[in-house]
Structure 1
Amino acid sequence: MIKRNFFSVLRDDPTKRLLLNCAVTVGSVLLCLLVLPTRLPGMELAGIGPNWLLIWVVTWSVKRSMLQGAIAGLVLGLIQDGMTANAPTHVFSLMLAGILTARLRKERYLQEDFISVALIAFGMAVVAETVTAIQYSIRGDRSLIDIWTYHQLIALSSAILSSLWAPILYFPLNRWWQRMSALEQ
């Protein structure tokens, strides 16, 4: 009797491969959603935690098109708005992060995955928090001095933590998606 491994079964059945790939992708989003509101010891800086949905959008968008990055940002932004207050919206910041990450075309500039993903997550966290601060400024219900002073603390804390945790999410998901892509060939 020939023993077949897990990936050879997936290679032979595209329906199972698609369903399992979708389950892993959706499962990773659900895991990020569950971890987002938690503040475990060592996972917060000045009361700010990593932006797990931003990390997921960066992980997804790093090797995909700008449209795919924008759609991921849109969907996760709407989900996050559903979990929190919808004003200011998270849609703009996550969509912009997805578009900019896909636009970078990481392979052109940086070769090391862990370092480049950490740097991209750092930059996108600053961009995302700046978009949020701009939305607060437009609303006008707070003073600009308070918004931009607090923005510095939030942006830096979020960027540091998101960049430190980004490789932890990126490595397994990237390996999985590479494996699934190789099976489709």
Structure 2
Amino acid sequence: MLARQIINYAVTVISIILCVLAILAPIPGMELLGIKPNWLLIWLVAWSLKRSLLSAAIAGLVLGLILDGITASDPSHIFSFMLVGVLTVLIYKHLMKKMQEDFISVALIVFGMAILVETIRALQFSQMGDHTLVDLWLYQQQVALSSAILSSLWAPVIYFPLNRLWELMKSSGSMNYFS
């Protein structure tokens, strides 16, 4: 059982590291209008779907800190990622549990959350006072839609292998952290 827990922790950490590397690596054909998929957002949605509010908020905090560490930290990603984690849990508990879980529903959640994250960042940029909200919004519309489209298209690639592994770990009884 301890070995399975170690494997579970390792897979979780390694999958986050791979998402960070995907953010940093220039992968040909992976951009739309200069925007890449938000790999950590996809991971956060995959993690949060079947977790508690607290664990989703903590995951959002940690991933927000990681993203702030590898990109511009002003404005911070922490608030938007914590909000995404919590909203994903609420969406799953109140809507998706009643529907069939498939790649379309996961992609739609990622699409909406990517729009939300980029909208929050646009509002944060507007509060910094360097640009007007109108100027920011013209640019942020492209950023939000590009990020949402790419992230939602890649969501099943991240979600299904991780979800399958987490389900196997849960059924073997070794997944009791943050559940």
Contact 1:39 1:49 in 2 (8 A): no
Q: Deviations over 1:22-51 (max 9, x none)?
A: 000000000000001334222111000100
TM-score (structure 2 length as normaliser): 0.92
For structure 1, the residue ranges without an aligned partner over 5 or more in a row are 1-13
Distance, in Å, in 1 between the alignment partners of 2:160 and 2:77 is 25
Deviation at 1:109, TM superposition (A): 4.7
Equivalent residues in 2 for 1:1-185 (5 A)? Answer: 14-105=1-92, 106-184=95-173
Between 78-87 and 26-35, the greater mean CA deviation after superposition: 78-87
Distance, in Å, in 2 between the alignment partners of 1:77 and 1:103 is 19
Deviation at 1:68, TM superposition (A): 1.1
Instruction: Count how many residue pairs are aligned between Structure 1 and Structure 2.
Output: 172
Deviation at 1:80, TM superposition (A): 0.9
Q: Deviations over 1:41-65 (max 9, x none)?
A: 2211100010000000000001111
SS of residue matched to 2:30 = coil
Contact 2:123 2:133 in 1 (8 A): no
How big is the alpha-carbon RMSD for the aligned residues of Structure 1 and Structure 2? 1.3
Distance, in Å, in 2 between the alignment partners of 1:103 and 1:132 is 22
- The structure with the larger Rg is 1
Distance, in Å, in 1 between the alignment partners of 2:4 and 2:101 is 28
